[in-house]
Amino acid sequence: MRIAVFGNLYQEAHIQELSTLFDLLSRHNVWVEMEESFYNYLCSMLQSPPEINDIIKGDDFNAAIALSIGGDGTFLRTAQRVGEKEIPILGINTGHLGYLTDVSVDEVNDNLHNLLEGKYLVEARTMIGVTSPDAKLDLWQYALNEVAILKEDTSSMIEMEATVDNSHLATYLADGLIVSTPTGSTGYNLSVGGPIVAPSAPVWAISPVAAHSLTMRPLIVSDDSIISVTTRSRSATYRISLDGRSQTLPVGTTIEMRRAPFVTRVIQRLEHRFTDTLRSKLLWGIDKR
């Protein structure tokens, strides 16, 4: 089996577990290729370098599985690196909440044999693709979690004229607007009062940020929809953010959002259930007294 490994550079508390993981992969004759920055970091932390077969320096790699070692931010970055390859990604949580990461670092060695034997589920997660007829977008134009349209830090609220499939939806007066996938519904979307959506649901959530009118509530639309938003403001610019990657655009610019032509494939344990995640990560039904 060929495995591509990506990770963040904040692993001090888990360095021994990671050393054991790479030793086990080597003993199972797994071909391991690792992103260069993560490899250099591990070399600086471990007494001896991890045994790997190749270094990933760009996008010229392929594997049966990708490991994302870190938190949700690392998972989103791994999804970007994988991109259209659609390599299934297993998230190993060494961060905090780790909503996207199904296995904690102290569990991964016990679950390694299931991974190598193909005993796992793969969920296909839809992504949002973003284009603009008015401006060049200088960032990767796909989002696994959400696309956010936001005011600049010093400006007043912005006006966002939104259409769905060429039909006028609303003119939002707010600090911003979030278009979220089901995967991202428990992130930024949830923090502004948006709904939690089951990962397999073929929908998006449109949620305003601090709307001027209390009647402007979150809305669920089909992920077959094309959402278009033209933003105006007293300021000369506003920002768009795709999974935290942001770019400043001039007011009057329109952006269009549609379902991406590829998906992110997320590895889950066979016993994984979405409802279990709600209880373990968001503490649903947990009496904290």
Cα–Cα distances (Å) from 127 to 25, 54, 84, 124, in that order, read 31, 29, 11, 10
- Summarize the confidence of residues 109-125 as an average pLDDT: 89
Query: Residue 132 pLDDT more than 60?
Result: yes
pLDDT score at 224? 97
Banded model confidence at residue 156, pLDDT cuts 50, 70, 90: confident
Banded model confidence at residue 107, pLDDT cuts 50, 70, 90: confident
- Please indicate whether residue 235 or residue 109 has the higher confidence score (pLDDT): 235
72 belongs to the catalytic site: yes
Q: Of 94-103, 106-115, 277-286, which one has max mean pLDDT? A: 106-115
Q: How many residues does the chain have?
A: 289
Q: Percentage of the chain surpassing pLDDT 90?
A: 74
- Summarize the confidence of residues 142-170 as an average pLDDT: 94
At position 229, the amino acid (one-letter code) is V
Cα(92)–Cα(2) distance, rounded to whole angstroms? 17
Asked whether 89 and 29 are in contact (CB, 8 A), the reply is no
Q: What is the DSSP string of 102-143?
A: -EETTTTTTTHHHHHTT-SEEEEE--EEEE-SSS---S--EE
User: Average pLDDT over the chain, rounded to whole?
Assistant: 92
Banded model confidence at residue 278, pLDDT cuts 50, 70, 90: confident
3-state DSSP call for residue 89? strand
Supply 279's token pair: 């209880």
Helices (H), the chain: 15-27, 36-45, 72-82, 112-116, 188-191, 274-282
- Please indicate whether residue 109 or residue 238 has the higher confidence score (pLDDT): 238
Query: Residue 153 pLDDT more than 80?
Result: no
Considering only CA atoms, which of 11, 19, 3 is closest in space to residue 109?
Answer: 19
Cα(105)–Cα(76) distance, rounded to whole angstroms? 18
Residues 6 or more apart in contact with residue 249 via CB below 8 angstroms = 132, 135, 231, 237, 238, 239, 240, 255
Query: Residue 289 pLDDT more than 60?
Result: no
Query: Residue 56 pLDDT more than 70?
Result: yes
pLDDT score at 288? 59
The secondary structure of residue 64, as a DSSP letter, is S
Supply 122's token pair: 């793969």
3-state DSSP call for residue 259? strand
What's the pLDDT tens digit per position in 58-78?
Answer: 888 999 999 999 999 999 999
Q: Which of 59, 60, 72, 110 is catalytic?
A: 72
Supply 80's token pair: 């970007």
Banded model confidence at residue 110, pLDDT cuts 50, 70, 90: confident
